[in-house]
Amino acid sequence: MPKPRILSLVRPRDYELLFTPQTDQALRALGETVFEGQQGTLSSQELAQRIAGFDAVLTGWGSPRFTDEVLGAADRLRVIAHSAGSIKNILPRPVFERGITVTHAASAIAPAVAELSLAMTLILLRKVVQLDRYLRAGDWQGAKAVPMGRELVGLRVGVVGAGYTGRCFIKLMRALEAEVWVYDPYLSAERAAEIGVRTVALDDLFAGCPVVSVQAPATDETYHMISARQFGLLQDGACFVNTARSWVVDYDALLAELQTGRFVAALDVFDREPLPEDNPFRELDNVVMTPHVAGASLEARQRQGQFMVEELDRFFSGGPLLYQVTADMLDTMA
């Protein structure tokens, strides 16, 4: 039986990050591998001219959308392995309707996002930025006068969204003995009991938790799901963390509340990226910011490539996939 033909659309700079020499070797061992991303990102029209005769396509950030023209030319395509997280911009519903198997690397990224969410939570709770600012200004006594921070042990932490990253974050919170409340309309009572969380309404979560971490995906249903109403319910001195998507949060409402100084926030995502120099969030002392890097760890990047090569191996060996995406999952995924 001839070996499968695999088309890689991953850009060179991304390929070097995602595919270690060992993973690259494993990919090439699966079949004849052609690298079309080496000269830059293809357009959908260019992909349609090249995709015939391939059994699998390996995609990544910046890959072209699989239009009807592309699908019409994909005479042998059986599986697409997306080496990043969100698939919606490149893999529309007709891909699934044609019976093409899809898998993605979101689970490889989730631990890194959860870890930065934890780091941000601790930085806010223990007031690290304020203390650092005083010491850099030479004011030891000012730093000592900052009100004491709080610890996670026994603290109620609200998590919005219990997908891949949400569950990873919940695992970290549980390990640190926090009490975890979750808002996720798709989390069953049985599953909530398994992971040791209490499910509550969104308003109740904001009113009852001194820490709120957003881990929800960007979907039609979640647009500005968190708005002025929820921020008004937050306790004074609360910590708000968003490492998910700005889509989920009304940032104008968030800014207005933060400008009162009532609570603190840590943000990894913004409505406009890169963040403009005149963005008012830059002026706030009660905000910690990072440039959309929650999922960007060396280990996460290497897992992304490894997981997708392993998925292709499972597919061609006739085994079950671990990270398959199905059509009925699309509406609730990023």
148 exposure class (CB count in 10 Å sphere: 0-12, 13-18, 19+): exposed
Can you tell me the distance from the alpha carbon of 65 to that of 47, in angstroms, rounded to the nearest whole number?
A: 9
| C-alpha closest to that of 209 among 176, 229, 228, 237 | 237
Tell me the HSE value of 172 on the side-chain side, using a 13 A CA sphere: 22
Q: Which of 245, 301, 303, 311 is labelled catalytic?
A: 245
Helices 106-125 and 128-136 cross at an angle (nearest 10°) of: 60
Can you tell me the distance from the alpha carbon of 57 to that of 75, in angstroms, rounded to the nearest whole number?
A: 12
Does 273 qualify as catalytic in the annotation? yes
Question: In this structure, which amino acid lies at residue 87?
Answer: I
Q: Which of 126, 262, 292, 314 is labelled catalytic?
A: 292
Does 292 qualify as catalytic in the annotation? yes
CA 191 to chain centre: 21
112 exposure class (CB count in 10 Å sphere: 0-12, 13-18, 19+): buried
Strands 101-104 and 324-325: antiparallel
Q: Which of 177, 273, 282, 299 is labelled catalytic?
A: 273
Which residues are part of the catalytic machinery?
245, 273, 292
